[in-house]
Amino acid sequence: MVHAAILGLGRWGRSLVESVQNISEYIEFTQALVQDKDRHQEFADKNQLHLTNQYADILNDPSIELIVIATPHTLHVDQIIAAADAGKHVLCEKPLSLTVKDAQQVIDACHHAGVQIGVGHDKRFWPSMQALQAELLNNSFGELIHIEGNFSNENSRLITGGWRNSPENTPGGSLTATGIHIVDAFVNLMGPMRSVQGNYIARTDAAEFSDAMSLLCQFKSGATGVISSVRPTPVFWSVHVFGTLGSIEARGPNNLLIFRSGKPIEQKEFPPINALRAQLETMGKCIQDSLPYPMSSEQMMNTVAAFVASAKAIDGGGVVHL
């Protein structure tokens, strides 16, 4: 059993804790870093968490093997480096960092310390995305020439205020909140990007904040891509890869569609899972068995590079070359 500490008990931090606490055989949270202990005491009591507002308490605790970071994005770099220096493994919520330089710094710090580092791209663990990647590895779709992706949700209408609305924490608007998962899927499936061109429409009124984002992408392989994210709108996920011999689409977390010339559409449906639990347990197993986390340093860097360029393209317009 890997003992972990959570940094931040906001909406997402609590979701991470609840996904495994008193359920998992591989990982459990024992401590949490918060600013206001009174605010989180009831949740902590329910989940057997010791609260502290001093990061040093966690860093100096020899029982803590893993630190899970669910704090504002601008805090990630310093918190990861401190964890690595203390010999703690790290699972950091996306984005890993807001610059390529910082991403390389934290990855180097973890490698130098000999600790694992993972990034919270939980959509990689969705059954539909796992199956899509497995199908592509069979090389039965010919040359991969194009990819389209959309991750939209209505969180911006349902959840307002807080640090997630601050420009320094959310470059590119909904790109940081939701679109980054599509960016990660793109570089995972198609390799590093060469350039991106962005478009962003924001609307603000007294009742809600919403935005729509789209990106045109070119990959170093020569393939092209289109990313979009719309908020608020009901939750929608699609990643569709086009090859010269067919195409394949992950629709939501549990559905896969396969298209081939002259054949009926092949549909596969998978039992639902808790992706947060799968992600955390994978990290726990990797720590216990001294196995590498299934997201290479190169992929982490490719995702951050594509994310940073995409945010620049959305916020500033025009084409950004990586």
Q: What is the pLDDT of residues 46-99, one digit of tens each?
A: 999 999 999 999 999 999 999 999 999 999 999 999 999 999 999 999 999 999
Q: How confident is the model at residue 230 (pLDDT cuts 50, 70, 90)?
A: confident
Classified by CATH at the fold level, domain 2-120 comes out as Rossmann fold (3.40.50)
State the pTM of this model: 0.92
Pairwise CA distance, residues 270 & 98, whole Å? 34
| C-alpha to C-alpha distances, 48 to 8, 32, 94, 143, nearest whole angstrom | 16, 10, 26, 51
Helix (H, G, I), strand (E, B) or coil at 225: strand
Give the position of tokens 């500490």. Answer: 5
Q: Is the pLDDT of residue 206 over 90?
A: no
Percent of the chain exceeding pLDDT 70 equals 91
Q: Is the pLDDT of residue 317 over 90?
A: no
Name the token pair of 178: 């939701």
Q: Which residue intervals of the chain bear CATH 3.40.50.720?
A: 2-120
CATH number of 123-273+303-321: 3.30.360.10
Give the position of tokens 């590498």. Answer: 292
CB 124 within 8 A of CB 184: yes
Q: For residue 286, give the nearest of 83, 27, 7, 107 by alpha carbon.
A: 27
Q: Is the pLDDT of residue 207 over 50?
A: no
Which run of H or E residues covers position 50?
strand 50-52
Helix (H, G, I), strand (E, B) or coil at 245: coil
Q: Which residue intervals of the chain bear CATH 3.30.360.10?
A: 123-273+303-321
Average pLDDT estimate for 260-281? 97
Least confident of 134-148, 154-168, 195-209: 154-168
Q: How confident is the model at residue 191 (pLDDT cuts 50, 70, 90)?
A: very high
